[in-house]
Chains A and B, each alone.
Chain A
Amino acid sequence: MEKLDLTLNINHKPFDVRISPNDTLLEVLRDHLDLTGSKESCGEGVCGSCTVQLDGKPVRSCLTLALEAEGAIIRTVEGLADGDTLSPLQESFVNHGAVQCGFCTPGMLMTADALLKENPDPDEDTIRKALSGNICRCTGYAKIVEAVAHTAHPQDQCPDCASGIKSCCKAKE
């Protein structure tokens, strides 16, 4: 099968790749570019662990051909932190114990990041709905929801967290 050359714009950097038409965006990220943050779990659109952003919207990279992503602004979990400085959302995931095995985390982060761009201070229902396409087998979701809700209320500003109660003020409202 013919190989094709294309340039993908990932985390604001151009990447030249030589691909086959049947390569998914996820395969190109992981196998060609060593951007292994995005995970493959089901491979058929169900779990959300492969979620990346295309032009700011969360999509399944396992069901997106690399060719279809040409020309789009692609953002992966590797693009969230600024060097060693985590994004406020990532920081909140760490502080709220929202990561256990971590396999769902990149997808959760990319979905939640897209939500927070649209609505920086969402309520619990909105968060649960936005994350409803991402499956987590470890945390039971409560801590993930708290972490997202808490992104706009960092620990030092939160009376509960400051007094040592780890559960989030916002998610419980």
Chain B
Amino acid sequence: MRLPQFNYTGPDTLEKALDLLAAHGQDAKILAGGTDLLVRMKKGLLAPKMLISLKALKDLSYIQQDKDAIRIGARTSLADIIASGPVQKEAAALSTACEKIGAATIQHFRGTLGGNILQDNRCFHYNQSAFHRSGRQACHKDGGKICYARDESDRCNSTCQSDGAVALMALDARLVLASKGHERTVAIADFYTTDGILPFAMEPTELLKEIIIPIQGAASAYQRLAYRSAIDYPIVCAGVLLKADTGKKDTIGEARIVVGAMARSPLFLAKESAELKGKSFTDTQAFQKAGNGAMNSASTFAVHNVGATLEYRCAMVAEMVVRALNEAAGSGKN
């Protein structure tokens, strides 16, 4: 499979990269590890006129820890994150999520955390070769007016299958977005549109610079289900965070439950999370109830477009959430 033609540029400073984005944003794409972008380009899903490579921007690869946060440069490889002691200790969910992504030889050395968050949403009707897609009418995401995944749907329901984003939302991470002369920080929970075609609340002139994970002294865990243990995207996954009450060590003071691969973005389940407050870390019944609640909430968003049947994926939401809660509660971090 040949790639379409494009111009390539490899700026060696962040300023130059942001200048290029300011000038060519609509026509350009950032190339990090390329393990998502190049596949989509080979399939003819997009054909940017210019690729702006992060290869020379080594300054964007780092993991720094200070008193209240871990800061990760967007270009940091998944392998570096998996190997990082601070990430394992303070953000276990992210460490596990990165380890589960695809397979070591595909992503871990070239794939980056920024690219993982910003990989496009997926749908098995759309992420196909040009030849496959030419056999039928175009769907919304392909510029047409129908959706094969949900009858009568007036918009695209593509699924966010990023492992990293689910863990980061559970960890309440923030994203630093830079554009020429400007920088802003957003909570990852506020970073998503409800549009399957353009899933991220981000301008084409913006570059993801850094991911900030607050250190909360909390336990976190990540669980995912896929057909194979490697080379496969999640069909359901869950990331959770459990923080002890400041007064009572054996009681949950704050919980965050996030379900992934079920909607256009990872889903932070506010109600189920809030209900765990005040429960004991050993209250497995409360965990089961949270799992069932998560299943009901997440099921309303999911469509049949990432592999296993919808019924199976919905049923497994509860299982993934319960496993993740048990893992976090039992991790001895409280």
Q: Which residues of A contact B (CB under 8 A)?
A: 1-2, 4, 20-24, 27, 43-46, 48, 51, 54, 57-60, 62-65, 67-68, 111, 129-130, 132-135
Cβ-based interface call for B299 (8 A)? no
- For the complex with contacts A22-B3, A132-B103, 15 further pairs of A-B residues with Cβ separation under 8 Å are A1-B7, A21-B5, A24-B38, A44-B42, A45-B38, A63-B34, A63-B35, A63-B110, A65-B34, A65-B53, A67-B8, A68-B55, A129-B104, A133-B103, A133-B231
Residues of A within 8 A of B7 (CB): 1-2, 21
> Which secondary structure dominates where chain B touches chain A?
loop
Cβ-based interface call for B301 (8 A)? no
Mark B197-223 against chain A: 1 for CB-CB distance below 8 A, else 0: 000000000000000000000000000
Contact A57 B102 (CB under 8 A): no
Contact A45 B109 (CB under 8 A): no
> Which secondary structure dominates where chain A touches chain B?
mixed
Number of A-B contacts (CB under 8 A): 89
Contact B38 A63 (CB under 8 A): yes
Contact B109 A22 (CB under 8 A): no
Give chain B's interface residue range (CB within 8 Å of chain A). 20 to 34
Q: Which residues of B contact A (CB under 8 A)?
A: 1-8, 10, 31, 34-35, 38-39, 42-43, 51, 53, 55, 79, 102-106, 109-110, 229-231
Contact B1 A133 (CB under 8 A): no
Residues of A within 8 A of B31 (CB): 65, 68
Residues of B within 8 A of A133 (CB): 102-106, 230-231
List, sorted by A's number, 6 A–B pairs whose CB atoms are closer than 8 Å: A24-B3, A44-B43, A58-B104, A62-B1, A68-B53, A133-B106
Residues of B within 8 A of A20 (CB): 5
Residues of A within 8 A of B109 (CB): 54, 57-59
Residues of A within 8 A of B39 (CB): 44-45, 63
Contact A65 B8 (CB under 8 A): yes
Closest 3 A-B residue pairs measured CB to CB? A133-B103, A132-B230, A21-B8
The smallest C-beta distance from A54 to any residue of chain B, in angstroms, reads 7
Residues of B within 8 A of A44 (CB): 1, 39, 42-43
B77 nearest CB neighbor, chain A only: A57
Residues of A within 8 A of B3 (CB): 22-24
